[in-house]
Every structure is written in C-alpha cells, then in structure tokens.
C-alpha cells in the first residue's frame, strides 16, 4: 500500500514584537511551523524580506525598503499573515537633528540642518497633507530645534549663531531671542514660555515678554539637547552621549534636576501621548528605534528602526518619525499630548 506524504502544515503566528517598525527595523515573530520544510520565507506585500534569525518557532525579519503599511506574510504560497504597522516614507533629502513638528492642520515641518558651519540651500521644509515637500525657510545656518507656540507660530533654533528665530507663514524669519550659546532643543510650556537647551549645559527660559532666565543647569552634552514637557508640567531632557546607558532627566517647575529613567542608548527626540506615556528615539536593550516609557518608568521597545532622531504625533493619531535623512509616517492609532 502506498502512503502519501503529508503536506507541510500551515505556519501559525502567535505574536509579533514590537508593534511597529520602519524600513531597516526588525520584527520578532513567534509561532509554530514558521520554517516549514526549509528556511522561513517572509514578505511585506509583494516585497521579500531578509531573515536575520530563522527557526520553526522564532524568526527575526528585517523590514525591507519599499515595504508599506499592511500585511506581513510568513511561509510559502501565501503562508499566513499578520497585520503590521510599517512606516511609509513621506520625505527624503532632509537632515533633521531633532523632532519634527506637526501643526493643527497636519502640516509637518523638518530641517535640512547640515554639518557644523555648513550653509544649506534650504533650512526648513514644510510637508503638506498631500505629502508635497516645499522649502519654507532659507538662510538659517544649522537649523536645529523646532517648536510651535499656542497660536501655531513656528520657531527655529540655530546652533551656529545661538539665535531662536520666529517664522512667518510665508517663511520670513526674525530673531526672537539671541545669545543662547549653542542653541539646540526648544519647546514651549502651557503659558507660552520658551525653553532653549544650550549644549554647554544651560537651559534658558524666555518669557512672552522675552525676559531671559537660567531655568536649569546640567552637565555639558556631546550632542543636541532634546526637550519635551510632560503632563505634570515637568520638563524632560535628553542629551545623548557615547554611553550605552544614558538617562532621561526630569526638571521640576522650580528648576530642580532629577532623573526619570536610565538605561537607554543615545536617547534623542521625545513626545508624550495623551495618556502620559513618553516615547523617545533611542536604543533599548541593544535594539534601535523608539522606546515607550510609562509614567512609573517601565520601558519597552515600541518601534524598531535605525537612525531615528525625533518623532511627533499627528492630529490623525499617526506618528511622524525623523531619521537622519528622511521622514516616515506610521499609523499607530495613538493620540499625542496637546497643551491646553
């Protein structure tokens, strides 16, 4: 009697981690029968993905360039699928060194910062809701930090001349405050006071009347400070160094500097969601991307991806990610924190 060889069982996906990624990032897939008879096969849509680690129960797959938000397929002949949140590139040819910003109309702003002392043809780009990227600001050397006040006016810091510029809707610029040292991160609080990070370690506070105060003093940073306000009114600060065990500082309303979380590699741009969770571009446990840290300082990797320097939430609950040369949009379904 002849016996028919049984068919290879259909692979079963039990879990995919982290929840999101951009091209170059990695998903960890756990399941059963993932390898089938041979090496695992993974596709994002019609695009084959490289396998970093492959076994029958565990696969690490790298998101390929050109992958889009949608289904990840594991196994031959269609295999089985899992819905993933994959970032789609919305701009390239840029050079952010901090967070992008998003206005109330969902326009995105980012910089072409350039290396120290380099004059670029464009300083700030505006990407509209149709994903058209147009030059907005020119003639700011080393545009660094971006911030919007409560009226939606854009501000840009220059680490070259220590000036924070106020930008008109048509891209005109006027100095808002000068003498900020090596001006890096900028952010507004609920009362429209502006805070400016100086790479030497000083954080300045500028009132609406443009009075300048020294708000806090920290150790000098080897790179740009990044600033974000949390829901309790504390200022959160990162200053990435060469250490793989950097901290996020938290500064009280009266300027007392404390430590919120320690254990990140090169933490940079930050943003809070409406529930008070902090998202920071950094490495966590040796994996690059965006870490999510709860109010009680519990951290986990939220998004995987290389070279991420900043992030921002949109009104439609997407996340905009800035790498050192491009912007990506990921539909994460998370509402960002807004100032009252």
CA dist 139 and 116 (Å) reads 14
This prediction's pTM:
0.94
pLDDT at 224: 62
Residues 259, 137, single domain; the answer is: yes
Interval 88-147: pLDDT, tens: 999 999 999 999 999 999 999 999 999 988 899 999 999 999 999 999 999 999 999 999
CA dist 62 and 42 (Å) reads 9
Instruction: With respect to residue 257, please indicate whether it lies within any of the assigned structural domains.
Output: yes
CB 290 within 8 A of CB 305: yes
Give the DSSP per-residue string, 273-325: BTTS-EEEEEEETTEEEEEEE-TT--EEEEEE-SSEEEEEE-TTS-EEEEESS
Q: Mean pLDDT score of the chain, rounded to an integer?
A: 92
Residues 137, 176, single domain; the answer is: yes
CA dist 318 and 333 (Å) reads 6
Mean pLDDT of 225-236: 94
Instruction: With respect to residue 232, please indicate whether it lies within any of the assigned structural domains.
Output: yes
CB 169 within 8 A of CB 153: no
Residues 93, 42, single domain; the answer is: no
CA dist 72 and 78 (Å) reads 10
pLDDT at 223: 62
Instruction: With respect to residue 338, please indicate whether it lies within any of the assigned structural domains.
Output: no
Report residue 239's pLDDT band, with 50, 70 and 90 as the boundaries.
confident
Query: For the domain that residue 51 is a member of, what is the CATH number?
Result: 2.60.40.10
Which residues have CB under 8 Å from 192's CB, separation 6+?
Answer: 149, 150, 208
Residues 150, 51, single domain; the answer is: no
Tokens of 266: 């090169």
Report angle CA 257, 263, 264 to the nearest 5 degrees: 95
Residues 64, 32, single domain; the answer is: yes
Residue 218 has pLDDT above 60, yes or no: yes
198 closest CA partner among 242, 161, 248: 161
Interval 173-214: pLDDT, tens: 999 999 999 999 999 999 999 999 998 889 999 999 999 999
Residues 136, 281, single domain; the answer is: yes
Mean pLDDT of 60-86: 87
Give residue 103's domain range. 88-330
Residues 59, 94, single domain; the answer is: no
Query: For the domain that residue 206 is a member of, what is the CATH number?
Result: 2.130.10.10
Instruction: With respect to residue 197, please indicate whether it lies within any of the assigned structural domains.
Output: yes
pLDDT at 5: 45
């Amino acid at each position: 009697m002849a016996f028919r060889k049984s068919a290879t069982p259909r692979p079963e996906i039990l879990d995919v981690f982290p929840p999101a990624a951009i091209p170059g990032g990695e998903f960890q897939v756990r399941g059963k029968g993932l390898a089938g008879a041979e090496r695992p096969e993974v596709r994002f849509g019609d695009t084959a993905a490289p396998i970093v680690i492959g076994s029958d129960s565990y696969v690490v797959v790298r998101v390929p360039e050109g992958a889009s938000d949608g289904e990840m397929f594991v196994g031959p002949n269609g295999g089985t699928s899992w819905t993933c949140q994959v970032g789609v590139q919305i701009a390239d040819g840029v050079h952010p060194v901090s967070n992008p910003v998003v206005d109330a109309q969902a326009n995105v702003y980012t910089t072409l910062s350039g290396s120290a002392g380099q004059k670029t043809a464009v300083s700030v780009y505006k990407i509209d809701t149709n994903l058209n990227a147009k030059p907005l600001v020119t003639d700011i050397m080393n545009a660094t930090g971006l911030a919007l006040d409560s009226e939606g006016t854009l501000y840009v810091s220059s680490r070259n001349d220590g000036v924070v510029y106020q930008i008109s809707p048509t891209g005109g610029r006027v100095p808002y405050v000068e003498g900020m040292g090596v001006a890096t991160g900028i952010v507004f609080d609920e009362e429209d006071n502006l805070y400016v990070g100086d790479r030497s370690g000083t954080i300045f506070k500028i009132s609406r009347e443009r009075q300048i105060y020294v708000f806090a003093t920290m150790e000098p940073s080897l790179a740009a400070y990044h600033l974000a306000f949390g829901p309790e009114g504390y200022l959160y600060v990162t200053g990435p160094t060469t250490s793989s065990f950097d901290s996020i500082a938290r500064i009280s309303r009266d300027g007392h500097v404390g430590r919120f979380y320690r254990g990140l590699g090169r933490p940079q741009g930050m943003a809070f969601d409406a529930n008070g969770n902090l998202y920071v571009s950094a490495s966590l446990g040796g994996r690059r991307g965006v870490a999510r840290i709860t109010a009680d300082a519990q951290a986990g990797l939220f998004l995987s991806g290389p070279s991420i320097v900043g992030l921002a939430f949109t009104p439609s609950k997407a996340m905009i990610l800035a790498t050192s040369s491009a912007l990506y949009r990921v539909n994460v379904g998370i509402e960002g924190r807004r100032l009252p």
